[in-house]
């Protein structure tokens, strides 16, 4: 990545408690400042974020709820509404919806679309049985209804791992970053 002109900053956030999104989307952006990103050769006005699945969720959340910190981002198979995701996983961290409606609401990417400023590449396989494409479709509908710009790549029939499409995907990602940073 450095050879392509990108300085990677890798983050791995651990989930605790019943507040998905509350910590992740609000701790990472100020962390860029705390880590001395400029001292690493990074330019704060040229920060991108990307992730896949849960990382796609974090990307979508950061580009909406904390959009002032990021120039652009790439969300692959993003969870956008925890009410639609696998209950065994979601309820482990969020509890039951009737008992934590406020938590589910605050973690909902779709609620922050009005803050989104642009610079998003959405990617999803239509055969994804882990994060159903409905997540991306709902996000697209909200973005389009709000007249917000975004790019999208759909891979027909491909599952969550997008088998046989990684080369195409990573080339598309590199092109997107070069054009948007």
Task: Examine residue 70 and state whether it is found in any structural domain, yes or no.
Answer: yes
Distance CA 6, CA 41 (A): 10
Q: Does the pLDDT of residue 9 top 60, yes or no? A: no
**Which is the catalytic residue, given 106, 151, 160, 161?**
160
Task: Examine residue 153 and state whether it is found in any structural domain, yes or no.
Answer: yes
Residue 61 near residue 21, CB atoms below 8 Å: yes
**Which is the catalytic residue, given 53, 66, 67, 124?**
53
Q: Does the pLDDT of residue 67 top 90, yes or no? A: no
Mean pLDDT, to the nearest integer, of 33-57? 75
Nearest to 51 by CA among 8, 94, 114: 8
Mean pLDDT, to the nearest integer, of 133-157? 98
Task: Examine residue 13 and state whether it is found in any structural domain, yes or no.
Answer: no
106 is catalytic: no
Higher pLDDT: 130 or 3? It is 130
Ramachandran assignment for 160, one of left (phi > 0), alpha (psi -120 to 50 degrees), beta (any other): alpha
Type and span of the H or E element at 73: strand 72-76
CATH of the domain at 82: 3.40.50.1820
53 is catalytic: yes
Please give the structure tokens belonging to residue 112. Answer: 């922050």
Higher pLDDT: 91 or 22? It is 91
Query: What is the percent of the chain where pLDDT is above 70?
Result: 76
Q: Does the pLDDT of residue 15 top 50, yes or no? A: no
- When the pLDDT of each residue in the chain is averaged and rounded to a whole number, the result is 85
Distance CA 95, CA 162 (A): 30
**Which is the catalytic residue, given 66, 67, 128, 135?**
128
Comparing 30-39, 75-84, 125-134, which segment has the lowest mean pLDDT? 30-39
pLDDT digits (tens, 9 = 90+) for 117-137: 999 999 999 999 999 999 999
Q: Does the pLDDT of residue 1 top 60, yes or no? A: no
Type and span of the H or E element at 152: strand 151-155
Q: Does the pLDDT of residue 21 top 60, yes or no? A: no
Task: Examine residue 112 and state whether it is found in any structural domain, yes or no.
Answer: yes
Task: Examine residue 45 and state whether it is found in any structural domain, yes or no.
Answer: yes
Q: How many domains does the chain have?
A: 1
Task: Examine residue 80 and state whether it is found in any structural domain, yes or no.
Answer: yes
Residue 43 near residue 117, CB atoms below 8 Å: no
Task: Examine residue 123 and state whether it is found in any structural domain, yes or no.
Answer: yes
Task: Examine residue 5 and state whether it is found in any structural domain, yes or no.
Answer: no
- Residues with Cβ within 8 Å of 165's Cβ and at least 6 positions away in sequence, in order, are 125, 155, 158
Please give the structure tokens belonging to residue 48. Answer: 């991108």
128 is catalytic: yes
Domain that holds residue 172: 21-180
């Amino acid at each position: 990545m450095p050879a392509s002109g990108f300085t990677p900053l890798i983050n791995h956030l651990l989930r605790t408690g019943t507040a998905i999104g509350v910590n992740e989307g609000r701790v990472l952006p100020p962390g860029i400042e705390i880590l001395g990103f400029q001292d690493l050769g990074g330019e704060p006005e040229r920060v991108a974020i990307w992730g896949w699945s849960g990382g796609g969720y974090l990307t979508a959340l950061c580009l909406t709820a904390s959009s002032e910190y990021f120039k652009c981002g790439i969300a692959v198979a993003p969870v956008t509404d925890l009410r639609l995701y696998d209950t065994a996983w979601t309820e482990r961290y969020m509890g039951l919806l009737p008992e934590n409606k406020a938590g589910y609401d605050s973690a909902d990417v779709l609620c922050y679309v009005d803050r989104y400023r642009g610079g998003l590449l959405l990617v999803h396989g239509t055969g994804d049985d882990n994060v159903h494409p409905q997540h991306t479709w709902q996000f697209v509908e909200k973005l389009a209804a709000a007249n917000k710009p975004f790019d999208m790549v759909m891979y027909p029939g491909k599952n969550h791992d997008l088998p046989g499409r990684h080369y195409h995907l990573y080339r598309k990602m590199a092109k997107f970053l070069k054009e948007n940073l």
